[in-house]
Structure 1
Amino acid sequence: MSSSTTTTTNSLHDARRLFPRLVSNIARHSYRAVEIITLWFWLSHRFPESGLIRQILFMNDQDIESLAVEADLILNSLLLPNPAPTHDDNNDMPITAALLNMQTINTQYCINNCDSVSQGLSATLCGLRWMVFEDLLGQDQMAVAAAIVANENLNWMVLMDLFWANVYNNNPLLGYPLLRMIINDDDEDDNDDDLTSECTLLVTFMRGSLFTEEELREIFTRYGGVEKVVIQETPATSSSLYARIVFHSPMVLYMVLGNSNMVELLIGGKRMWARRFKSE
């Protein structure tokens, strides 16, 4: 086995060891646990000499909880549209800084470098493979579901209908900035038809409402990773009436549409309608 393969295997194993400690031991939401673990791995890649993950694995639950609180500061800062300036030398992440043996890691650093931090976290999540967490997330949710069944005497299929309706209606990932940016492209064998049917949004514009590619990309990047924007080509004398937004993950469609077939968006006084694109 190559050294790179061994390193990757160890990373996945370590991620799976950390997950139940965050969820079961210190009662973190499973989605936030994935984000926190991803952040720690990103920091460990940036500062490999620190041995950050190995240090965390040997910490007690109380110290891990304190470290997770510091991770929340970074993750929450990614949600701020206009973050308030703070001093560059603020020491709001002392435990993390000590583990990395450096003092430049703080929320202001992450705010100042928001784009690169976000991209780094997304890339790290891809490297860890979102699928490694899927069964763990399932176990966590199913444990809750089993408790509801026991207490409410609900039929299992009825419970699952309620569970998934809650997921898609309430968009639980909207409060988790990193998972909103998830890029789930591990399967390189997907063809364009699959991408079109699963990951593409069709938006139509009210006549006279002009949207540029840059505007559309900015609008929909708020929901998740945008791969490309394709606007209707028209003569110079006409305006485009529709565009296709291709996302990295079909999950993002649920961020936009929820459980609706079509949603209306009003952006800067300009109106558009969004629905799932269906290839002919």
Structure 2
Amino acid sequence: MPPSGNLPLTAMIMEKDISLHVLYQNKFSTISGIKSFMNTVCAWIFTDIFQHMMGIAPQVVLNQPLVIPGFPHPLFGNVTIVPRAMDHDFPIGGLWGWHPCNNVTEDERTLFLTFSRGFLVSEDEIREVFTRIRGVCVENVHMRDNVHSGEQALFGRMVLRSVTNVDQAWNGRRVAKYRVNGKHIWARKYERRE
């Protein structure tokens, strides 16, 4: 890779400038796109190769989902393939009807929010600050439910309309800081804890 961070071969294929910086700025959209591509296009085309790689006999029952954990890396989650007969048709829209935003889970579109102690932040204020800065992008806000009357929630989750909104709100930082009515809100990418 050149010292500039540019990816000339990728840029040539995509017919636009692509750099590591652009991929990093759009990290969550990129990861979601790869996951979606693996679970749709690759799972349809390379079913036989996945089965061979996993050491599964080709005569596995057709139409039974086969989950490959953490492929090609745990970051991308599981790939679910469904073995089909060789003459099986592709879904409506064909193979190239695929779009990276088609299979994005709610967790992939969620930010984890924390608030300053002593400054009550309401759901309306959260929506206000993100709508003012990013446009209409908030789908839902979940505040901590076990807060007693008069107490403040110290954290919450905000579901955005798209994973692109997550990249915009995060803006390449580990933690994004926002302010509404003199109150601080810290946002980072939500990671579900089991």
TM-score, normalised with respect to structure 2: 0.48
Greater share of helix residues, 1 or 2? Answer: 1
Question: Which protein is richer in strand relative to its size?
Answer: 2
- Structure of greater relative contact order (alpha carbons < 8 Å, 6+ residues apart): 2
